[in-house]
């Protein structure tokens, strides 16, 4: 147990620069978005943007578009913008494939030559991935509230704490879900690039599936296979409560990934 704690602390220490840099960039992005949203609000730009939107686009994007084209909508954009989601998922995949990296360079030989059970390697990886993902979202939320205090125009309604927290929780679950998938792949891999690449390609494929299904009805039949289907920020912005079903599905994928990682890593040969 002490050994596992040491390994956890060591792993956190190794990723501290990556973690802090990513977290601060994501928090800074929230500040920038709020600054931009404040500027548009002050100049009356949201009304003009809404008026410029053609009717077919309004119909295609649904009722959420009006809510999105507002100060609160832009503030919330920081929780579903493609680059933000991509950065969080990439970070989770990177952390979840630490075991594959340790096998690849041979460090795993030195670790497992000690009296340390293999399951601690996966437990450590789950802990690191979860702690870092939670820290990323905490920094983003902190960035949002700091930005609102600094840059929100006076008298404008802020997004509610419930909305911001719901977005953060749902996004966090999506991030962990990909961490779980990557961990399962990484637990059976000898190369981090292979594990990370496979998880990344799978994420891209399922993102495109979800995206296409929103535009093309026939794809809807299989869209449930995409984890991205279980993160609907527009629904949250339009006032829907945090869907527990979506969280349960993402949680189930995450736990399945973790469980698969335990089993695969316990049974595999460690060779590089």
Partner 1 sequence: MAPISIRGLTKRYGNLLAVNNLNLEGVEGEILGFLGLNGAGKTTTIRILLDLLRPNSGSAFILGHDCQTDGLHARLNIGYLPGEMGVYSDLTGREVLDLLAGLSGHAINKARRGELQERLEFPTSDLRRRLREYSTGMKRKLGLIQAFQADPQLLILDEPTEGLDPLMQESFYQLLVDVKQRGRTVFMSSHVLSEVDRVCDRIALVRKGELVLLSGVEELRKLAARPVRVSFADEVQAPAGLPAGAEVIETSPRSWRLTVEGPLGPLLHAIAALPVRDIEIAEARLEDVILKYYRDGKA
Q: Which is nearer to partner 1, 59 or 109 (CB)?
A: 109
What's the min distance (Å) between Cβ of 190 and partner 1? 12
Q: Of 4-12, 47-55, 135-143, 234-242, which part binds partner 1 (CB under 8 A)?
A: 4-12
Query: What is the contact mask toward partner 1 in residues 15 to 44, using x (rule: CB under 8 A)?
Result: ------------------------------
How far apart are the C-alpha atoms of 127 and 255, rounded to whole Å?
13
Q: Of 41-49, 102-110, 160-168, 224-232, which part binds partner 1 (CB under 8 A)?
A: 102-110
Spell out the alpha helix ranges (H) of the chain: 2-14, 16-42, 45-52, 55-61, 64-68, 71-77, 82-96, 98-105, 107-112, 119-151, 161-187, 192-215, 233-237, 244-267
- Exactly one of 21, 48, 106, 222 binds partner 1 (CB under 8 A); that residue is 106
Q: How far is CA 122 from the centre of its chain?
A: 20
How far apart are the C-alpha atoms of 129 and 97, rounded to whole Å?
10
Q: Which is nearer to partner 1, 111 or 261 (CB)?
A: 111
What's the min distance (Å) between Cβ of 127 and partner 1? 16
- In sequence order, the 6+-apart residues with CB closer than 8 A to the CB of 124 are 4, 7, 8, 11
Under rule CB under 8 A, residue 3 binds partner 1: yes
Shortest CA distance to 150 belongs to which of 39, 258, 54? 39
- Exactly one of 18, 24, 83, 105 binds partner 1 (CB under 8 A); that residue is 105
Q: Which residues bind partner 1 (CB under 8 A)?
A: 2-3, 6-7, 10, 14, 105-117, 267, 269-272
């Amino acid at each position: 147990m002490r050994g596992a704690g040491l390994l956890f602390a060591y792993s956190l220490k190794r990723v501290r620069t990556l973690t802090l840099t990513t977290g601060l960039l994501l928090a800074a992005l929230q500040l920038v978005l709020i600054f931009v949203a404040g500027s548009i609000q002050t100049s009356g730009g949201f009304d003009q943007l809404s008026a410029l939107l053609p009717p077919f686009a309004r119909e295609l994007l649904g009722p959420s578009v009006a809510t999105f084209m507002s100060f609160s909508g832009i503030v919330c954009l920081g929780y579903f913008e493609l680059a933000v989601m991509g950065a969080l998922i990439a970070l989770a995949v990177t952390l979840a494939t630490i075991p594959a990296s340790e096998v690849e360079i041979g460090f795993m030989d030195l670790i497992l030559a000690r009296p340390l059970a293999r399951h601690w390697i996966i437990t450590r990886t789950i802990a690191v991935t979860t702690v870092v993902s939670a820290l990323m979202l905490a920094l983003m939320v902190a960035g949002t509230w700091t930005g609102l205090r600094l840059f929100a125009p006076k008298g404008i309604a802020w997004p509610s704490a419930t909305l911001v927290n719901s977005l953060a929780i749902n996004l966090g679950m999506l991030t962990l879900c990909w961490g779980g998938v990557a961990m399962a792949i990484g637990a059976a891999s000898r190369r981090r690039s292979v594990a990370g690449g496979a998880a990344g390609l799978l994420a891209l494929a399922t993102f495109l599936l979800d995206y296409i299904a929103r535009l093309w009805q026939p794809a809807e039949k299989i869209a449930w296979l995409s984890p991205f289907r279980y993160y609907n920020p527009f629904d949250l912005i339009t006032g829907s409560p945090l869907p527990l079903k979506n969280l349960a599905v993402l949680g189930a994928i995450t736990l399945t990934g973790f469980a698969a990682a335990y089993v695969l890593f316990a049974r595999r040969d460690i060779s590089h």
